[in-house]
Amino acid sequence: MSMREYLTETLHTPVRCVCDVIVCGGGTAGVAAALSAARCGAEVVLIEHNGYVGGTLVNGAGPLHSFFNLYNAYPETGRHQVVRGIAQELVDKLEARGQSPGHMEQRRGGGYDSVITLIDWEGCKALMLELLEQAGVHLLLHTDAVGVTKQGDRIDGVIIQSKSGRELIRTKTVIDTTGDADVAELAGCETENRCTTTTVGMPFSMQNVDMKRLLAYLEAHQLITQLVIGEEQTPGNEAIRLGFDLKKVPEFTEFMERTGVWGPLGYALHTGEFTYINAASVRAVDATDVEVLSRAEVTLRLQVAELSRMLIRYIPGFEHAYVSWTPNKIGVRLTRIVQCEHVMTLQEITEGARFPDEV
């Protein structure tokens, strides 16, 4: 490819609206931020790239965890719920609608994720939209933040790009919940890219899976690494958290060592559906580089295709299964982060340290 060239433009960007708070990114953090601000009386605009809100939570995340402290990993601390607020409100409302079994204790396997919470993704999408509308949040989907305006060191506007073109939203406060510190980067904040420290993945769903037959096979061959069953909490559905070690199955060993595929670890929520299978993996991907991101997307989708064919061929319970869902993009754990004044230590996290300037 040719060397980078630059085009100098003179742009006339119309002001779309003025608000108290603009939240950039409608994932879990963005939804919570927008709801919190709007419920306090602020005029809030929430912009989101996708055609729904919820982010990775409803498009590739597995069972929710970390509502409770690390009491299995650190038994001396005792069991305490450390996350409530809007996150717990979502779980409560989904449970009332029959779209979540609530918090299920993981008795086999697991450490930090001692409690598992399954949710119906489509139900959660709808619920979040309902709550945002009730709070009066002005939602702009299919919209990206592409620039900022500043008065000195203070951001007073976010430039957006959407099907309506390039526009400016004037604001008093900007909340960056893009997941990649995009707005902070555009504003000139000091950031650090941590892409080399973790992996990206591509979970998927399969229909027509006989989970009881699968469990019987895994038990007989001692392959299960994590298991929780919540049938009593979701009558008529599966509600199974399941992890197993495919690397011990001879037909999979070479494939997994060659590709970096692991586990898998996942769950089933609805009968006949292995709702979430997390196994495909690529390490050290800079998801802020479109070329690298595109290559990883292709690699992972081909991993899913090959793995699913092998499951159907070799693993009892998958004989009549087929891939029914893949996320609209790969799952990214970590990219840019804003350089902070203080980075919390493991001891501060496990002991629940408090800080004078906490929100």
33 or 61, higher pLDDT: 33
Taking 80 as the threshold, does the pLDDT of residue 296 lie above it? yes
Mean pLDDT of 3-31: 93
Secondary structure letter of residue 108 according to DSSP: B
Tokens representing residue 85 in the block: 């607020």
Question: What distance in Å separates the CA atoms of residue 341 and residue 339, rounded to the nearest whole number?
Answer: 7
Tokens representing residue 181 in the block: 């510190």
CB half-sphere exposure, 272, CA atoms < 13 A:
7
Tokens representing residue 315 in the block: 């693993």
Taking 80 as the threshold, does the pLDDT of residue 237 lie above it? no
341 or 87, higher pLDDT: 87
Taking 90 as the threshold, does the pLDDT of residue 221 lie above it? yes
Count of all residues that appear for the chain in the document: 359
Q: What is the DSSP string of 211-278?
A: HHHHHHHHHHTT-EEEEEE-GGGSTTS--EEEEE-GGGSHHHHHHHHHH-----EEEE-STTEEEEEE
In b/e form, how buried is each residue of 203-227, taking b as 16+ CB within 10 angstroms? Answer: bbbbeebbbeebbebbeeeebeebb
Taking 90 as the threshold, does the pLDDT of residue 28 lie above it? yes
Q: Is the link from the previous residue into 63 a cis peptide, with omega within 30 of 0?
A: no
Percent of the chain residues past pLDDT 70, beyond the cut: 97
Tokens representing residue 4 in the block: 């980078």
pLDDT of 197 reads 77
Question: What distance in Å separates the CA atoms of residue 270 and residue 351, rounded to the nearest whole number?
Answer: 37
Taking 80 as the threshold, does the pLDDT of residue 90 lie above it? yes
pLDDT of 233 reads 52
Closest of 269, 272, 274, 275 to residue 234, by C-alpha: 269
Q: What is the pTM of this model?
A: 0.92
Question: What distance in Å separates the CA atoms of residue 68 and residue 358, rounded to the nearest whole number?
Answer: 20
53 or 347, higher pLDDT: 53
Mean pLDDT estimate for the chain: 92
